[in-house]
Amino acid sequence: MRIAGVVRTAAAAAACSVLLTSCGGSGDDEGAADKDGAGKADRTDARSADDLRRVPDVGDRLQSRIPKNSRQVVAVYGEGKDSADATVVLYTKSAATWKKTRSWPAHNGKKGWTPDHRENDKRSPVGVFTLSDAGGVLADPDPAPGTGLPYTKSVAFQAPHYWPKTHWHDFDHVIAIDYNRVKGTPPNDPTRPQGQTKGGSIWLHMDHGSGTSGCVSLSKSGMRHLLRTLDPKRHPVVVMGDKASLGQDR
């Protein structure tokens, strides 16, 4: 029985509090309208079969943190430590080999990346995190039973309309990155197990054309593809960071 499509209700007051401190931030960064970037900005080189036994351009330090049972990796390759530009690549594993399936231009925190994320630092956290819950203002786009992340449809995700119009649809679809949150809850659940100072509400969400307050954003078609493709049975994770941090062996 598909439980992923069951709509869960989130408290609007708690959700509003989370949204104001999450990726949307204060809405102070203007951006161009989002465009589909599927198939563009391929940041990885052609690889041999032996190379593809590992997620490309990820060093031993983070490679070792990818769960052995994971068969789906969303890799976020940041352009630089202080850059808001990135590329998202979806890899799937068959037997012992990783295969690149899709890629999209993306954005991360407007100030870049950090291994020690803090509330409102405007940087995205570097690391490997599970992907277990999704939601948004719009309905789950996944029509197929038996797959897909648990999805919460709620108007509580709506970005405030005092933000620039370019940001109004940021949270039409979101996928929670399991950084300082409780798995199995809606993405806008405000609980932060490591405390408020460590930040939270780090999501994959819709792009508005520029940097975020800490999340990773990509095109609408990219988000919908991920929502249709990510399967809890394949134990999906996100591996994210600037290129230098991703490539570290220690």
Token pair for 81 = 């430590």
Domain boundaries, the chain: 60-247
Global pTM reads 0.83
Superfamily (CATH) of domain 60-247:
L,D-transpeptidase catalytic domain-like (2.40.440.10)
Q: What is the pLDDT along the chain (250 residues), one digit of tens a residue?
A: 333 443 344 343 444 444 445 564 444 433 333 444 444 444 444 455 546 899 999 999 999 999 999 999 999 999 999 999 999 999 999 988 999 999 999 999 999 999 999 999 999 999 999 999 999 999 999 766 666 899 999 999 999 999 999 999 999 999 999 999 999 999 999 999 999 999 999 999 999 999 999 999 999 999 999 999 999 999 999 999 999 999 999 8
Q: How far apart are CA 81 and CA 85, in angstroms?
A: 10
Task: Give the CA distances from residue 70 to residues 79, 193, 237, in Å, rounded to whole numbers and listed in that order.
Answer: 25, 24, 7
Helices (H), the chain: 12-19, 60-63, 220-229, 243-246
Query: 171: closest CA among 27, 60, 66?
Result: 27
Query: 202: closest CA among 184, 179, 225, 170?
Result: 179
**Per-residue confidence (pLDDT) for residue 61, from 0 to 100:** 97
Q: How far apart are CA 136 and CA 220, in angstroms?
A: 12
**Per-residue confidence (pLDDT) for residue 24, from 0 to 100:** 44
**Per-residue confidence (pLDDT) for residue 18, from 0 to 100:** 46
**Per-residue confidence (pLDDT) for residue 142, from 0 to 100:** 75
**Per-residue confidence (pLDDT) for residue 103, from 0 to 100:** 98
**Per-residue confidence (pLDDT) for residue 144, from 0 to 100:** 66
**Per-residue confidence (pLDDT) for residue 242, from 0 to 100:** 98
